Amino acid sequence: MEKTFLMVKPDGVQRGLIGEIVTRFEKKGLKLLAGKIMVVSEEQAKTHYIEHESKPFFESLISYITSGPVFAMVWEGKDAITLTRSMIGATKPTEAAPGTIRGDYAVEMSRNLIHGSDSAESAEREIANMFDPNELIQYEQVI
């Protein structure tokens, strides 16, 4: 089983889309191990977006992600990273297919609603950056 870090960004929280987004992953059959509303610190934001450090939009990325509450989550399932990324859709909302979260609800790249880990290594680093290990709840899903 694979774990991934997903985060409803400040625009998604402001627009009241937490429930809609969580519902999609629940209905897909993924298992929610952790979820919390939180304000990302400057330090956490810089760690989270480390691979974009040299990009011209880095400062605006940091100021946006720290501007208001996010909903941070850890989900688990078979191929959870690939599955959730395909459900999230392309980074650029104009390229995100209808039926994906960004395709259905996002317009701007800098306000693209949700983050999803792109690899197992990123997921491990991103989870450790936002959660204490004891915040992840392991349980049997009896359906």
| Spatial contact of 137 and 34, defined as CB atoms under 8 Å apart | yes
112 annotated to bind ligand: yes
4 binds ligand CMP (CB under 6 A): no
Pick the binder of ligand CMP from 36, 38, 42, 57 (CB under 6 A).
57
Pick the binder of ligand CMP from 13, 22, 32, 61 (CB under 6 A).
61
63 binds ligand CMP (CB under 6 A): no
91 binds ligand CMP (CB under 6 A): yes
Query: HSE-up of 49 (CA within 13 Å, CB side)?
Result: 23
Pick the binder of ligand CMP from 23, 110, 119, 141 (CB under 6 A).
110
Q: Is 136 helix (H, G, I), strand (E, B) or coil?
A: coil
Alpha-helical runs (H) found in the chain: 10-14, 18-28, 42-48, 58-65, 80-88, 101-105, 120-130
Which residues contact ligand CMP by CB under 6 A?
52, 57, 61, 91, 109-110, 112, 115
